[in-house]
Amino acid sequence: MDLKKYPKYTIIVRGYTPKQTESILEAMKGYEKEFAIEVTMNTDSALEMIQTLNENYGEQIMIGAGTVMNIDEERAAISSGAKFLLGPQSFTKEMITFAHEKGVLTVPAAFTPSEVTSLFRKGADIVKVFPASSVGPSYFKAIQAPLGHLPLMAVGGVSVNNITEYLNNDCQYFGLGSGMFHKKDVVSQNVAGLRRSITELLALDTVVS
């Protein structure tokens, strides 16, 4: 997969129902290229959701799997149509190689400079720094000073309230879960409210110093 085609923002779907998820995708109309959708593997019927979403929206939106813990889950997610894989921990070389053979992008997680370097050496496309809130926005600029410009994703505690700080510290990608939408909008499938959250986030990106 061409990394240039991967969106800056990944919306993390964890524990949402299929209808709630579809309301999010409806709210994304016109912004399909700005966001990817990650269905976590610990969501009920995750594989069925990944397959259905890809069948219905896969031409417009990148649909992938999150919380991928091992190669068995990886194989199942890819069989269901996942175009990318995120994990809360490191991926093995075998997992990264298998994904690339299938044309699937990999986003394993790391925390320290050594872990970040190790994953890129294994072939990871993007490295997810998790939980990002534990190290803070300045970590992204600091780690790249000695290591060079890197495709890093901030996940964990990222929201509209702090995302500009990450953008200003040279963070390239973001995974947003509970910090993306107002919970009541998700629960009630309030498309207008969900869309407001999307436009508010994108507006912040345009005013970064």
Rg of the chain, C-alpha, whole Å: 16
Residue 40 phi/psi, 5-degree rounding, is: -75, 145
Based on the residue annotation, tell me whether 128 is a catalytic residue of this protein: yes
Task: Spot the catalytic one: 73, 74, 83, 128.
Answer: 128
Question: Under DSSP, is residue 106 helix (H, G, I), strand (E, B) or coil?
Answer: strand
Based on the residue annotation, tell me whether 200 is a catalytic residue of this protein: no
Segment (H or E) for 82? none
Angle between helix 191-205 and 18-27 (nearest 10): 50
Task: Spot the catalytic one: 22, 38, 73, 74.
Answer: 38
Residue 106 phi/psi, 5-degree rounding, is: -115, 135
Q: Tell me the two tokens of residue 14.
A: 């964890």
CB 40 within 8 A of CB 67: yes
Residues serving a catalytic function are 38, 128
